[in-house]
Copies of this chain bind each other. A is one copy, B any other.
Amino acid sequence: MNDFTYYNPTKIEFGKAKENNIGLYIKEASIKKVLLVYGEGSIKKNGLYERVVASLNEHGVSYEELDGIVSNPLLSRVYDGVKISKESGVKAILGVGGGSVVDSAKAIAAGAKYDGDVWDFFINKAQITEALPVFTVMTLSAAASEMNGNSVITKDETQQKYSIASVLLNPRISVVNPELMATVSPEYLAYSAVDIIAHSIEVYFTANIHPDFNSRIVESIIKTVMQTTETLMKNPKDYDARAEFAWVSMQALNGLTPAGTAGGSFPNHMIEHSLSALYNVAHGAGLAIVIPAWMKWHKSQNTKQYERFAKEIFNESSADKGIELLEAWFAKIGAPVSLGDAKIPKEDIQKIATNAYGTATVWGMDADYSVETIMEILEKA
């Protein structure tokens, strides 16, 4: 077991109607003004915006607003948020939405306390030493952004999709009300399921030190995601399945699964970030394309763990069968499993690989993943 530091100071307020307390939570933190960040308006249609604003008003918390956060969120909008934050002197960022909104809220929180360009943090030119506190009200479960310090942002002009991570960006409090997620489309439910599985298996397969307990936790997460996804596909109103799905999504990327492991990396995310940056496919959809291809390419490097995966998840004994059944399950829930499924031209493989190699470099994975290697993986997709 490897040495590690485990620290996750986010408080999760989980359950029905808890968004109505968001003003209280912020007030209890002695914060009087926030920047309210949200997406393209669905929270206005479904009444969530009104309830959040009512709670802020009730508890004397004033707010500025930043809307229009898109999936695969853009640096340009983060810049807008940083500018408003600095000019208006807000004391916290409140993200109401899914992972994109929360990722944007975090980047703004870091940028608001930094004199330079917030992109500096993404290209390792500067370290985050300070940030405004972040609060969230979640409307989609997948990214676990509500319970970690990660943020992934795409730079508009260069289509670089890069990330930052700091415990300073862990939300202070995240409100997770599964009822708010009941209207997620079957398509996005599928992408979310793939994303959670992706978070779980990256380190599971790549680490060279991976204790049994970590494997058991990952397998518990995957089994639960698959079970609850199937329940929700049949009955989107099943509260318990929605709730378990939401809670498990956080466990997949809150620091628990990698604790004590060594040598793990995120190759599927590294490659996928280029698909979503270049073609604006949903992150989970891109992952469903990359994962089976990557597994086929990678399996011989860790055969035992692939066999374990096949056994624990599908009660099968061969590594190949485990990969095949995972790919089939992705397809069954409606996720694309090839470049063609997402209408990404095969001729673009070199372009995608070149873009992904940029991420590999920033993430320190360029020794294992050259442009040629990434092309080889994408050929299998």
CB-based nearest B residue for A248: B213
Q: Tell whether A64 is near chain B: CB-to-CB under 8 Å.
A: no
Residues of B within 8 A of A6 (CB): 11-12, 14
State the copy count for this chain.
Answer: 2
Q: Is the CB of A213 within 8 A of B18?
A: no
Q: Is the CB of A244 within 8 A of B1?
A: yes
Q: List residues of chain B with CB within 8 A of the CB of A260.
A: 14, 243-244, 247
CA separation between A9 and B171, bound complex, in Å? 12
Considering the complex, give the chain B residue whose CB is closest to the CB of A173: B7
Contact of A12 among B7, B11, B224, B227 (CB under 8 A): B7
Q: For chain A residues 5-19, which have a beta carbon within 8 Å of chain B?
A: 5-16, 18
Contact A4 B8 (CB under 8 A): no
Interface: A368 (CB within 8 A): no
One of A99-107, A116-124, A215-223, A344-352 contacting the partner? A215-223
Interface 0/1 of A1-37, CB less than 8 Å to B: 1111111111111111010000000000000000000
- Chain A 277-289 per-residue mask, 1 if CB under 8 angstroms from chain B, else 0: 0000000000000
- Contact call B259/A247, Cβ cutoff below 8 A: yes
Are B1 and A240 in touch, CB under 8 angstroms? yes
- Are A211 and B244 in touch, CB under 8 angstroms? yes
A residues sitting closer than 8 Å to B (CB atoms) are 1-16, 18, 178, 211-213, 216-217, 219-221, 223-224, 227, 239-240, 243-244, 247-248, 251, 256, 259-260
